[in-house]
Amino acid sequence: MSDRRTALAWLGAAALVAGTAGAQQDRFPARSIRIVVPFPPGGFNDQLARVLAQKLHEAWGQSVLVDNRPGGGSQIGTQVVAKAVPDGYTLLMASFAFAVNPSLYAKLPYDTARDFLPVILCAATPNLLVVGTEVPAGSVKDLIALAKAKPGELVYGSAGLGSSNHLSMEMLKARAGVDLIHVPYKGSAPAVMDLVGGRLHAMFDNTPNVLQQVRGGKLRALAVTTPRRFALTPELPTVAEAGLKDFEVSVWFGLVAPARTPQPVVERINAEVNRILLLPDVQETFRLQGVETIGGSPQQFALHLRGQMAKWSGVIREAGIRLE
């Protein structure tokens, strides 16, 4: 199914959520809820899921479990939710890969348009371009020059094929005309560990995943992927300032449910998560990590997904990436 048809399917499904809440919503939730995170523990998607789990438990009095199912560029965990009973008790912490996988893979074990329903866009953060402290590069231009001097010798890591880490570096490679070797991991945390340990040279990663290591002197940050300098790291230039025009990556996180989840249940989850995202302690916790809380309606999330799918399908074509 094309990106446009996928987005239209989401928009049509999300529009149905505007119906009034009925008896089914009043009964929800009557038992424990599971949030599937298609990455290992340690990344921000996992942290966000655990914050929401705790706050939802406090609000509803039902246990909310975080179920980490890494692997396959997020396909394994995503497929778990695609096959789950559509009753609101199994949710997916979707992120960047959810929107790019339909363009990246020749075939997926689920249909992104038919098998899911957007619930809420929770948060977003930029990526930081970081290198190991032993890498002789103090800027993006230095790293590009080093890569040109040593073609095919520098190694970068990612949270998996199709992750924002992967495609951010592929976009840099294409625009700068350099060659780096890609090593995909099952999540960000193990890749960051190997970068700190000197087994990798560089990577892009979500701000909260590497900010502590940068501040602790274990990694060196070269740039941020925002269009303008980032408020939390004003000393860092943007990648665009290094001469790569219009280089911008926003990494987002949101909840999706299995298709055919009852409209009142989606509405109930959306309203409660919107409330949680406005809590001062939640906003401050995320702000200190360089994450912006967002919220909004299912329809707004569907529009966001449409834009992300269109943007990254172009990048994937430009980089010539196609996975089986």
- Element (H or E) spanning 65, and its range? strand 64-68
Does pTM top 0.95 for this prediction? no
| pLDDT value of position 155 | 98
- Where along the chain do its domains lie? 3-125+251-319, 126-242
Q: Which CATH superfamily is domain 3-125+251-319 in?
A: Bordetella uptake gene, domain 1 (3.40.190.150)
Fold match between domain 3-125+251-319 and domain 126-242: yes
DSSP 115-175: SEEEEEEEEEEEEEEEEETTS--SSHHHHHHHHHHSTTT-EEEESSTTSHHHHHHHHHHHH
Model confidence band, residue 86 (pLDDT cutoffs 50, 70, 90): very high
Comparing C-alpha atoms, which of 197, 319, 301 is closest to residue 252?
A: 301
- AA identity, residue 67: D
The values of phi and psi at residue 187, to 5°, are 120, 165
Q: Give the pLDDT confidence score for residue 71 in this predicted structure.
A: 86
Q: Are strands 33-37 and 64-68 parallel, antiparallel or unpaired?
A: parallel
In angstroms, the CA 22 to CA 234 distance is 48
pLDDT of residue 237: 95
Q: What is the mean pLDDT of the chain?
A: 90
Least confident interval from 80-84, 162-166, 173-177? 162-166
Q: Please check the confidence at residue 29 and state whether its pLDDT lies above 70.
A: yes
Q: For 126-242, which CATH class?
A: alpha beta
pLDDT at 24: 52
**Using N-to-C axis directions, what is the helix angle for 263-277 and 44-60, rounded to 10°?**
110
Res. 13: pLDDT tops 60: no
Q: Which two tokens stand for residue 49?
A: 């899921």
Q: Beta strand 250-258 with 116-132: parallel, antiparallel or unpaired? A: antiparallel
CB contact at 8 A, 273 and 122: yes
For residue 84, is pLDDT > 50?
yes
Q: Do residues 221 and 233 touch, judged by C-beta distance below 8 A?
A: yes
Q: Tell me the pLDDT band of 3, cut-offs 50, 70 and 90.
A: low
For residue 37, pLDDT over 80 is answered with: yes
| Greater model confidence, 18 or 243 | 243
| Residue 51, phi-psi category: left (phi > 0), alpha (psi -120 to 50), beta (remainder) | alpha
Q: Considering only CA atoms, which of 162, 165, 252 is closest in space to residue 200? A: 165
Helix segments in the chain, DSSP class H: 3-15, 23-27, 44-60, 75-82, 96-104, 140-149, 164-176, 188-196, 207-215, 263-277, 280-288, 298-319
DSSP string, 100-120: HHHHHBS--SS-TTTSEEEEE
95: how many CB neighbours lie within 10 A of its CB? Answer: 27
